[in-house]
Amino acid sequence: MLTIEQVKNNGWLIFEAIVGSKAYGLNTVSSDTDIRGVFILPKDEFYSLDYTPQVSNETNDIVYYELRRFIELLSKNNPNIIELLNIPEACVLYKHQIMDLVKPEMFLSKLCEQTFAKYAFTQIKKAYGLEKKIVNPMDEKRKSILDFCYVYVGKESFGVEAFLKRNNYTQEKIGLAGVKHLKDCYNLYYADKEVYNGIFHKEDSNDICLSNIPKGEMPVGLLYFNKDGYSTYCKQYKEYWDWVEKRNEARYNTTMSHGKNYDSKNMMHVFRLLLMAQEIAIDGKINVRRNDREFLLAIKNGEFEYEDLVERATESKEGLTEAYAAADLIDKPDINIVNQLLIKMRDTYYGK
């Protein structure tokens, strides 16, 4: 598998730059250094089955794109890639002269209205997802099937654990048999001897157990298993504790400190993307270095309410339609021009 080190050591790199908060001018003391680059595979690897579209380090702080993949993403007006066309000079670590062939006007198009806005609203969903996790934390102790089972006896219903306690039963001595035409409902039997399979085998079982019931045996109740509810809970439990394990603690602590219960860094990028999209339509260029640092950092610091930000973002998105209708931009990159550029860059590079 190709690595970052191999690309650099073999001299395949043709562009490398610092991106992210340090390129936007939004960095703080705790900001990481993110790097993106472009490389060209040698002929043998490019023409073989060993083609590698991109490589990264373990933390994805450094990502390099092979020329074809880079041009492909540019032609789709991918926000993270198209901003590389106007990275501040101070952030450019290396630039091969062949990169001068890539002109912004070949790629900047009305597609940016959708790509930037779509990416921005993805960040809103991420911010809201964090809000739900913060406001609704999950107990570390995982619930079992019993928490989603209910027993109907006579004219009363009980949670299964209350039913077991009331009758001095144990779940291991319960027998269950399906009831025709009643989804997730089961006749419930009990025997002092462990002749049945119980309600479940293990605490983390995914479903209940059925038992062979002797002919003539009478049920002591009807059990309902909220299987859909249990499945949803298991999914949410795994997502929550995976998030706890992998979350960026510094970012999480920032969110907790301002007390607004949403990922403020995500929301900051929502407005950065929308503002960049607006500038592309009006100015015909990408303004990577932000002149609205104070406003964007105020969002990051949690100085706004989540609902207000969503409303403002929605209004900004709607305003893009009018701006792009009047924009002096191509509708989308010309695939023939893009292909000719790609061929010329590769021929020039291999020729030298």
**pLDDT tens per residue, range 177-229:** 999 999 999 999 999 887 899 999 887 788 999 999 998 899 999 999 999 99
Q: What is the pLDDT of residue 260?
A: 58
Q: What is the pLDDT of residue 257?
A: 47
| Mean pLDDT computed over 265-274 | 90
E strand residue ranges, the chain: 13-19, 34-39, 54-56, 62-66, 92-95, 149-153, 156-159, 174-178, 185-190, 221-225
For residues 58 and 68, the answer to whether their CB atoms sit within 8 Å is no
CA 81 to chain CA centroid, Å, is 18
Q: How confident is the model at residue 247 (pLDDT cuts 50, 70, 90)?
A: low
State the Cα–Cα distance between residues 17 and 33, nearest whole angstrom: 10
Radius of gyration of the chain measured on its C-alpha atoms: 29
Q: What is the pLDDT of residue 104?
A: 94
Q: How confident is the model at residue 256 (pLDDT cuts 50, 70, 90)?
A: very low
Residue partners of 1: CB distance under 8 A and separation at least 6: 52
Q: Residue 148 pLDDT > 50, yes or no? A: yes
For residues 119 and 273, the answer to whether their CB atoms sit within 8 Å is yes
- ∠94-81-34 over CA atoms, to 5°? 60
**121 or 97: which leads in pLDDT:** 97
In this structure, the strands spanning 174-178 and 185-190 are antiparallel
For residues 263 and 132, the answer to whether their CB atoms sit within 8 Å is no
Lowest mean pLDDT among 141-155, 157-171, 233-247: 233-247
Q: What is the pLDDT of residue 250?
A: 53
State the Cα–Cα distance between residues 134 and 137, nearest whole angstrom: 6
Q: What is the mean pLDDT of the chain?
A: 89
Angle at which helices 249-258 and 112-135 cross, to 10°: 80
In this structure, the strands spanning 34-39 and 62-66 are parallel
Q: How confident is the model at residue 128 (pLDDT cuts 50, 70, 90)?
A: low
* Predicted TM-score of the model (pTM): 0.66
**262 or 142: which leads in pLDDT:** 142
Q: What is the pLDDT of residue 277?
A: 95
Q: Residue 237 pLDDT > 90, yes or no? A: no
Q: Residue 113 pLDDT > 70, yes or no? A: yes
